């Protein structure tokens, strides 16, 4: 029962109350870069979800079975980023060979993922928050859902933005950030649900 | 021979990493709650950028082309780990407020972008100038955002209260929405300046 309760709290927290894009300010590069269309943001969200969950399992195992016994905890940043980069490469090679249709759908997003700071942040937070493996998986799933939600929200608004007149001073990126600011206000309102 | 002055100014104005290239936004928005945090972040960031650009430009002729990305990542990761340990040892309070954003310097796209695009092809001196320009460009943006947010949001400058007691600061500016709002305005201002500069040049 306690486990269920913790799972639920972590999940809700990572999706809404501590949303990775609007509250924690992570993965903003892809947030402004990839939300030009709905397809892009859904594709990116799917690819990130897959890589985040796998990367947090792998890095969790590496940390507790290799770095801790050897007393090399200070190498965690380098180890994790190399793990993520290698993992993304392997997924790309495997998909290209085995599932070409999925590769065509996800392929262009994969190289961008290696430098997505959300993935490294999730793997590092799993360690600093001392989550158990199950909770770490729940946390990474929640984080990716929150990220995908943020992308879809912004993409939806950007599609509508084509039909309105924007002040000349704010055209382009500025209006996107101001839109994000208003979405963030909405997310602040959700802070109370998980305490 | 490339023009060093132009390389330097490009980092600050035309190619400002944060406001024009839209990379490395995460740390800028997250850390700019107080000016002191922003200065700390700038120092950490500049250390990693300058260190890795110098290292890579010094060994650029012996790096095999196919292995260059992993080598870049290891160089950047090493400098990030060094600064992470230094901050943890000498300023635990700064470490606590910057939190996860120090290790995240390693995935800051500006650094790997500059290393790949500039210092793997240019001399040590040019890389030094380029990294200084990029660091100052980053520093100006993050410190100015932090200054505005601190002033409007908590009514303080470097932690000293400046408002008379009957004016309440606008809390929204230290919360996440304020950060998005101010960076939007700053992007608009810098692109207006750049447009005017381009026009006056002809």
pLDDT at position A108 is 67
Largest CA-CA distance found in chain B, in angstroms, rounded: 64
Domain count, chain A: 1
Q: Which positions in chain B touch A174 (Cβ < 8 Å)? A: 184-185, 187-188, 191
pLDDT at position A195 is 58
Confidence of residue B116 (pLDDT cuts 50, 70, 90): confident
Domain count, chain B: 1
User: Contact, B172 vs B153, CB < 8 A?
Assistant: yes
pLDDT in tens, B23-41: 778 888 888 888 999 999 9
Q: Is B6 on the interface with A (CB under 8 A)?
A: no
User: Cα–Cα distances in Å, from A53 out to A39, A62, A156?
Assistant: 21, 14, 26
A166 three-class SS: coil
Residue with tokens 């090493």: B78
Q: Are strands B160-161 and B156-157 parallel, antiparallel or unpaired?
A: antiparallel
Q: How confident is the model over B76-99, as a mean pLDDT?
A: 91
pLDDT at position A127 is 92
Confidence of residue B202 (pLDDT cuts 50, 70, 90): low
Subunit contact B104:A120, Cβ cutoff 8 A: yes
Subunit contact A181:B100, Cβ cutoff 8 A: no
Subunit contact A78:B78, Cβ cutoff 8 A: yes
Q: What is this model's ipTM?
A: 0.86
Subunit contact B184:A116, Cβ cutoff 8 A: no
The pTM of the full predicted model, rounded to 2 decimals, is 0.88
Q: Which domain holds residue A148?
A: 2-193
Q: Report the distance separating Cα B20 and Cα B42, nearest Å.
A: 18
Subunit contact B30:A115, Cβ cutoff 8 A: no
B63 three-class SS: coil
Confidence of residue B154 (pLDDT cuts 50, 70, 90): confident
Q: Report the distance separating Cα B103 and Cα B97, nearest Å.
A: 13
Report the percent of chain B where pLDDT is more than 90: 35
pLDDT in tens, B131-153: 999 999 999 999 999 999 999 98
H helix or E strand, kind and range, residue B154: none
Q: Report the distance separating Cα A119 and Cα B188, nearest Å.
A: 30
pLDDT at position B1 is 52
Q: Which domain holds residue B186?
A: 4-201
Confidence of residue B53 (pLDDT cuts 50, 70, 90): very high
Closest CA to A135 of A2, A11, A26: A11
Confidence of residue A55 (pLDDT cuts 50, 70, 90): very high
Buried b (16+ CB within 10 A) or exposed e, B22-36: bbbbbbbbbbbbbbe
Choice between B40 and B16, residue whose per-residue pLDDT is larger? B40
pLDDT in tens, A131-157: 999 999 999 999 999 999 999 999 999
Subunit contact A178:B29, Cβ cutoff 8 A: no
pLDDT at position A194 is 67
Q: Report the distance separating Cα A4 and Cα B20, nearest Å.
A: 45
Q: Which residue of B33, B69, B180 is the best one to mutate when testing the A interface, meaning the one whose CB has the most A CBs within 10 A?
A: B180
B114 HSE (CA, 13 A, CB side): 38
Name which of A170, A181, A184 is nearest B188 (Cβ-Cβ): A170
**Phi, psi (deg, nearest 5) at residue A101:** -65, -45
Subunit contact A85:B70, Cβ cutoff 8 A: yes
Burial class (CB in 10 A: 0-12, 13-18, 19+), A170: middle
Choice between A100 and A55, residue whose per-residue pLDDT is larger? A55
pLDDT at position B42 is 93
Q: Report the distance separating Cα A109 and Cα A27, nearest Å.
A: 14
What number of helices (H) and strands (E) belong to chain A?
Answer: 9, 0
Q: How far is A87 from chain B (nearest CA, A)?
A: 13
Q: Which positions in chain B touch A29 (Cβ < 8 Å)? A: 22-26, 109
Q: How confident is the model over B59-74, as a mean pLDDT?
A: 86
Q: Which positions in chain B touch A180 (Cβ < 8 Å)? A: 180, 184
Nearest residue of B to residue A125, measured between CA atoms:
B100
∠ CA A60-A63-A64, nearest 5°, is 85
């Amino acid at each position: 029962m306690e486990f269920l309760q913790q799972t639920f709290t972590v999940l809700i927290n990572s999706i809404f109350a501590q949303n990775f894009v609007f509250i924690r300010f992570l993965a903003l590069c892809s947030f402004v870069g990839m939300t030009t269309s709905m397809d892009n943001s859904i594709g990116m969200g799917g690819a990130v979800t897959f890589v985040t969950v796998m990367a947090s399992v792998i890095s969790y195992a590496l940390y507790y079975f290799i770095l801790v016994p050897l007393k090399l905890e200070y190498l965690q940043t380098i180890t994790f980023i190399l793990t993520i980069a290698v993992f993304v490469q392997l997924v790309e090679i495997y998909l290209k060979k085995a599932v070409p249709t999925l590769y065509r759908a996800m392929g262009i997003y994969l190289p961008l993922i290696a430098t997505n700071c959300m993935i490294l942040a999730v793997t590092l937070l799993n360690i600093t928050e001392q989550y158990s493996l199950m909770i770490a998986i729940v946390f990474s799933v929640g984080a990716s859902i929150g990220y995908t939600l943020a992308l879809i929200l912004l993409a939806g608004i950007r599609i509508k933005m084509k039909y309105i007149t924007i002040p000349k001073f704010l055209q382009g990126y500025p209006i996107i950030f101001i839109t994000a600011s208003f979405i963030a206000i909405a997310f602040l309102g959700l802070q109370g649900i998980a305490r | 021979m490339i023009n060093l002055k132009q390389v330097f100014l490009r980092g600050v104005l035309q190619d400002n990493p944060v406001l024009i290239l839209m990379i490395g936004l995460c740390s800028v928005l997250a850390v700019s709650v107080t000016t002191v945090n922003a200065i700390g972040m700038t120092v950490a960031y500049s250390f990693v950028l300058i260190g890795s650009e110098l290292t890579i430009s010094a060994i650029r002729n012996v790096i095999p082309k196919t292995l260059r990305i992993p080598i870049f990542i290891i160089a950047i990761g090493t400098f990030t780990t060094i600064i992470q340990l230094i901050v943890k040892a000498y300023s635990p309070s700064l470490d606590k407020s910057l939190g996860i954003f120090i290790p995240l310097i390693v995935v800051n796209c500006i650094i790997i972008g500059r290393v790949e695009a500039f210092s793997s092809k240019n001399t040590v001196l040019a890389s030094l100038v380029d990294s200084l320009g990029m660091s100052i460009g980053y520093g100006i943006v993050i410190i100015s955002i932090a200054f505005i947010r601190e002033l409007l949001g908590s009514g303080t400058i470097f932690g000293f209260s400046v408002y008379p007691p009957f004016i309440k600061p606008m809390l929204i500016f230290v919360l996440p929405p304020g950060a998005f709002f101010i960076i939007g305005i700053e992007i608009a201002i810098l692109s207006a300046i750049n447009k005017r500069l381009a026009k006056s040049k002809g």
